[in-house]
Amino acid sequence: MSKLYIIPTPIGNLEDITLRAIRLLKEADLVLAEDTRTTKKLFVNYNIDTTLASFHMHNEHRVLAEFINRLKAGKTFALVSDAGTPGISDPGFLLVRECVKNNIEIECLPGATAFVPALVNSGLPSEKFIFEGFLPTKKGRQTRLKLLLEEERTMIFYESPHRIVKTLSQFAEYFGEDRKVSVSREISKMFEETKRGKAKEVLIYFEETKPKGEFVIVVEGKK
């Protein structure tokens, strides 16, 4: 039966995967992975020997038609990213869209997504929020920040260790030094850390502490 399973994988601790996810990864005809080397480590840990194929932002347009044709022929595929849920700041949207166009059944399993624990752990309002993902690195960055000046809902961003200080500096500049923020890094890993406080305070902390790992920034909305 033609079907695509979208399967979340652990964002740090390998124990954070569901029993159903493991079973479906074993049963699939093929697993499409953002980086097969990363996914192979997960497979080794859970004795999964399903064939892996690369599917990432650099090849997805080139290989898309082939995978859609194989799905239409009756194959069952699973899609995973390096960590978390595919399609959330990761490859996946293009494949899902084409499956919808071709009436291929899709099922997304519930599971790990980094921004959820970061939001809940932040202490900031979580009943209404927006997920911004990664800000543009160059073109459109200032425009995006200006658009968010009037945002009243809690805002969630992803950031790399190389840009975290720059981003926090801009948040203090655009949103104000007293705006409450919460920065979580290495979620579910050994050195997990959450730093909460005013934008200026959190900026100073990461200026003095070498940033490591992947970051989720939660920012209070305008009052």
What CATH code is carried by the domain that includes residue 76?
3.40.1010.10
Q: Note the pLDDT of residue 138.
A: 86
- Specify burial of residue 192 (Cβ count, 10 A radius: 0-12, 13-18, 19+): middle
With a CB cutoff of 8 Å and minimum separation 6, the contacts of 217 are 156, 157, 158, 159, 164, 167, 168, 171, 181, 182, 183
| Per-residue tokens: 159 | 């950031």
- Are 119 and 202 contained in the same domain? yes
Last residue in a domain, options 108, 129, 154? 108
- Are 87 and 140 contained in the same domain? no
Alpha-carbon distance of 27 to 169, in angstroms, equals 47
Strand, coil or helix: 177 = coil
Last residue in a domain, options 108, 139, 164? 108
Is pLDDT of 175 > 80?
yes
User: What is the radius of gyration, based on Cα positions, of the chain?
Assistant: 19
Question: What is the domain extent for residue 78?
Answer: 3-108
- Are 14 and 81 contained in the same domain? yes
Question: 190: how many CB neighbours lie within 10 A of its CB?
Answer: 7
- Are 13 and 68 contained in the same domain? yes
Last residue in a domain, options 38, 73, 108? 108
Is pLDDT of 20 > 80?
yes
Contact between residue 73 and residue 54 where contact means Cβ atoms under 8 Å apart: no
Indicate the number of domains in the chain: 2
- Are 92 and 171 contained in the same domain? no
**H helices within 49-140, ranges in order?**
60-72, 93-101, 115-122
- Are 49 and 11 contained in the same domain? yes
- Are 56 and 98 contained in the same domain? yes
Is pLDDT of 1 > 80?
no
Full-model pTM: 0.92
β strands within the chain, DSSP E = 3-6, 30-33, 52-54, 76-80, 105-108, 129-134, 154-159, 180-185, 193-198, 215-219
Name the band, by pLDDT with cuts 50, 70 and 90, for residue 110: very high
- Are 104 and 131 contained in the same domain? no
129 strand-pairing partners: 154
- Are 181 and 199 contained in the same domain? yes
Please identify which residue in the block is written with the tokens 């809902």: 153
The residue-averaged pLDDT of 201-221 equals 95
Name the band, by pLDDT with cuts 50, 70 and 90, for residue 117: very high
- Are 89 and 171 contained in the same domain? no
- Are 99 and 144 contained in the same domain? no
Percent of the chain at pLDDT > 70 equals 100
CA distances from 177 to 47, 150, 160 (A): 50, 16, 21
Alpha-carbon distance of 138 to 157, in angstroms, equals 16
- Are 98 and 20 contained in the same domain? yes
